[in-house]
A and B are shown apart, each in its own frame.
Chain A
């Protein structure tokens, strides 16, 4: 795999990665699929067409993996797909040649993730140095690239 970060996006099972939700029931800070990408909703507003028209919802979301911004507008009665986000906590056991050994709650260890090359990565290393072990969170999701047809 060229970019190990992409590994976040593959899921472990074939279960449905999204479920439908009425657009008006979405909330700011919640999640939604915009243009096929799982996004965190950062802005949500309603508008209507004409005095006797029905409400429309304008959504602005940030892709949870790429931080890219997506926008969409749909009638508030329509259903939107909501990604089933699951968050897994791993304990950092070791760092070896920039790869981390991570232990999940049931004791399984995975060693396929590189220390991110950014501020978070530096922080992980620093903390690891300091206490030799530390807790960190990684977002994980049973997310498949969902295509709308």
Chain B
């Protein structure tokens, strides 16, 4: 019997039973034998009416795996043959299975679960035609539970769990070949009746167990199962009315009205608190009980009859929570669960309900939250030290800080000032955890900084600005003084002993780490970093400064600000300064100590991390505070506007100071790539707004920087290419600041002309072709190309005219370089990149003649590339990567050129008014279409399926071909045959087997193609035939497959235009679909739905109004019958 394929039995009572393999140890089975065995099982499961045989196998076989297969066969056959079976025989089959399991307590778990799954599937299928009465099931299960026998109770729990999974209509649900609509309506019925029954049964069990004093191990395991079941019920994703599918991922508890009695009963919640108290030391069970409470804390929706019910529910919850937490020492395994409860109730309950709580209860809650936050924060810091894998306290701390952020953002709803004290405590404890002794408790320097945490702490700092801003200032000033002293002592030490290894870095590193955190928190407190918006001074900070402005001595404040080299406390009257300015001054003092140390050749001792923190802060600060615009604020603080406003000495001084800092950093820190990058970004920030740039260009050091960079002299030439690029960008941006015309001319002569001159001198040398491969020459060329990218990046609407002319001169020379450097892929890439940047930044501003010039240049570039590429050998290993880079850049270039068609700011060469207009438009030689199609000719043959596996390449590729179809549909039929074919193949591939984003892009490409066909009125063209194929694809996609709603619009538009084009084929598709329906009801529903779908647009014409009408009907169509044909 053991030898692989064995015959269980051959012929019983005349029915032939296929020989079933039995399980054998893997080592004894060959692959062929295994495949054969699999085949036997699979065909067995498909055999007709296997019930008698299966019953027989179940009763006689001793092999678990065979039992499992028999159960599976029953389940599949019942569903398959449901209509043919007598209701009574189904009922007896179900009874048989249940009894079978009951009588065999020692079945393998997976066999038992599979049999119960079969029962659950039968119940679910039966609920559709009401042939099975759910009530009787629950009655039976209830009896099993009351038996008191742990084994039977476990079994009952398994039945309920199986029912829950089957009815949940989720990924856990078995596929039984029925429509999603069926699954949806089963679920809806179940959640009103069966689910609540299960909940009640579960509650009874939990009640029972919670009363017991001592639980045996077996009892306790039953208890655990029911607790998990309760969690599953409370995490039920309640299906809203009129929905077939539920989408949300994070399930909150939103039961229907009918659950009122069950869930609003305070005893339910009390029970869960009691249960948790009882089992909290068991970390597995505690997770379930806390999760149940968290679900209860998320309860919302129609279950609450009115606000007062909601208030009393919340009050009861908060009371229960407080009495649970108070007086216990929280276990590690409870932290996340407890923070989930709190976070859920703060997120889900409306502010009006929170404030309606009795005030002392609310206060106790806030106090408890405060203590918990501080304590989790401390434990989280300890976790970092111990380097634990599982950072439970960190997770809990994050959750609570997030909750604070939610509360504080809605501060106006709560009693005034009620968050100040809590904010102070949480803020203090955060600072404490991140500072070294004696002020703090930190004992290592490896903590990572979470931006979310810092935002929350910054926000809390603003709420308690009165406390937090002065605290940060005094801590930072103290650390800076100590750092200064420590650096001096180290310097003396180094002078005495020449061995740099003897320096003890511990003290310094501790100070750097303290300063690191203090600067980060200060930055997050003082300013936001909104993307794309003008950052404003936070209102809390502004109010704080205004509130104290009467006590402030403005001159002393300015003196403190303007003397970063001196100790703040040594300045007389230093107590009467504006605190916001004083905090900035403290950072400037840090910066000054750093700069002085570099001048004293102590750079080795400094921390690049601190350097980064300083420029990060200064940049964030400058964006918000420098040249503060009074028009943006309702009220403005005098000290702030006096110190940083437009036309103030303070602002001028700071700009000069920041500039010096940047210049110093760029020479000292060229070896620290990130720091150099952050530094040059600070410089860009200073010049990207005209008002700031106006001040910058008045500084002499700015001009020196420009000259130094233009001459490529040390140390700036050491900077990485990306830094050099941004530096060029900054220098160009600065050139558009306000200057008189002589000065401006002089500036450009200093900045741009040397670049051009050097380049031309080099490439015009007679022997350039020979020297071109010399390292020095290559470096010069690369530096020039990088600079050109930087110049293009600096484009703004008011400088595009001059920058475009300047860059155009270079572009043609660059094409010449393509030949010279055809063997140096990285240079080729850089040349293409220059074109990409110019097109990206400038095409939208260019008028017709200028655009054409650019098109011409791009076309030549592509021609040269294509020529070189053909002869180029791609033998070595990096070839694919090179090619990937080239293609990506070329596609980017083409897409940028195409973008002109929908983003165009040009006003018929308005910005070029004063310049030569060039060739008149009527003689246009090159169009965007020519360039792009030429480019596609190059790209398409090179795009392999392997290359499409690079996500960025794939995205860029589909973006490009969709644009082409949308913008130049008339060019598509003119493509050469194989190019056309591969384009169509790409579209189909993108639609059917790529991400939904790409599939959407491809769908968008279809409408313009179909419209193009309609315009041409030629049938049997390749495009016409291709669109017919797409009609079927889109039709199947919309009607037969599960798809997300975003896609419906794109697919709908495509479908409509395709239907217009191929009306007969569409009718055929509908007919075929309808004729395949055997169920008359479904047939009718479908037929009606299809009629309605096209009713408003018959006959379909390509008319916007009709199309909109169609899309609207389609929405209804999908909601109505979308799930009907979608099978699971």
Contacts and interface: CB of A to CB of B under 8 A. Distances in A.
B718 A54 contact: no
A9 interface: no
Given A51-B609, A105-B770, A22 B445 contact: no
A52 B509 contact: yes
Given A24-B720, A25-B717, A87-B773, A51 B673 contact: no
A86 interface: yes
A77 interface: yes
B671 A22 contact: yes
Interface string A50-72: 11111100000000000000000
A77 B513 CA distance: 23
A52 B672 contact: no
Contacts of A76: 671-673
A84 B773 CA distance: 12
Interface centre among A25, A27, A86 (most CB of B within 10 A): A25
A12 to B, nearest CB: 15
A27 to B, nearest CB: 8
17 contacts: A24-B718, A25-B670, A25-B719, A25-B720, A31-B775, A51-B609, A52-B508, A52-B509, A52-B512, A52-B513, A54-B608, A55-B672, A55-B673, A76-B672, A76-B673, A85-B774, A87-B774
Given A29-B826, A86-B774, A52 B609 contact: yes
Interface string B599-616: 000011001111000000
Nearest to B714: A22
Contact of B445 (A28, A48, A52, A87): A52
B671 A55 contact: yes
Nearest to A88: B770
Nearest to B672: A55
B944 interface: no
B789 to A, nearest CB: 16
Nearest to A22: B718
Interface centre among A48, A50, A84, A105 (most CB of B within 10 A): A50
Contacts, number: 67
B607 A24 contact: no
B446 interface: yes
A77 B721 CA distance: 17
A54 to B, nearest CB: 6
Interface of A: 22-25, 27-31, 46, 48, 50-55, 75-77, 82, 84-87, 89, 105
A55 B608 contact: yes
A23 B671 contact: yes
Nearest to A27: B721
A22 B720 CA distance: 11
Contact of B509 (A50, A54, A86, A87): A50
A126 to B, nearest CB: 15
A105 B672 CA distance: 43
A82 B776 CA distance: 11
Contacts of A75: 671
A-B complex: 10 closest residue pairs judged by Cβ atoms: A52-B607, A76-B671, A24-B671, A77-B671, A87-B773, A25-B718, A52-B512, A22-B718, A52-B609, A51-B445
Interface centre among A22, A23, A28, A86 (most CB of B within 10 A): A22
Nearest to A52: B607
Interface string B714-749: 000111110000000000000000000000000000
A99 to B, nearest CB: 25
B1005 to A, nearest CB: 38
Contacts of A51: 445-446, 509, 513, 516, 607, 609
Contacts of A50: 445-446, 509
A52 B718 contact: no
A25 B775 CA distance: 14
Contacts of A105: 770
Interface residues of B, number: 27
B608 A22 contact: no
A77 B676 CA distance: 13
A23 B770 CA distance: 28
Contacts of B720: 24-25
Interface string B657-671: 000000000000011
A30 B609 CA distance: 28
Interface centre among B445, B509, B603, B608 (most CB of A within 10 A): B608
Nearest to A55: B672
A24 to B, nearest CB: 4
A87 B445 CA distance: 50
A22 B671 CA distance: 8
B113 to A, nearest CB: 51
Contact of B770 (A28, A52, A84, A89): A89
A105 B632 CA distance: 69
Contacts of B719: 25
B670 to A, nearest CB: 6
Interface in B305-320: none
A55 B674 CA distance: 10
Nearest to A82: B775
Contacts of B509: 50-52
B972 to A, nearest CB: 40
B830 to A, nearest CB: 11
A46 B673 contact: yes
A93 to B, nearest CB: 18
Contacts of B718: 22, 24-25
A82 to B, nearest CB: 8
Nearest to B778: A30
A53 B608 CA distance: 7
Interface string B84-119: 000000000000000000000000000000000000
Nearest to B717: A25
B775 A52 contact: no
Interface in B444-462: 445-446
Nearest to B505: A52
Contacts of B446: 50-51
A22 B718 CA distance: 7
A38 to B, nearest CB: 11
Contacts of A84: 775
Contacts of A31: 775
B518 to A, nearest CB: 14
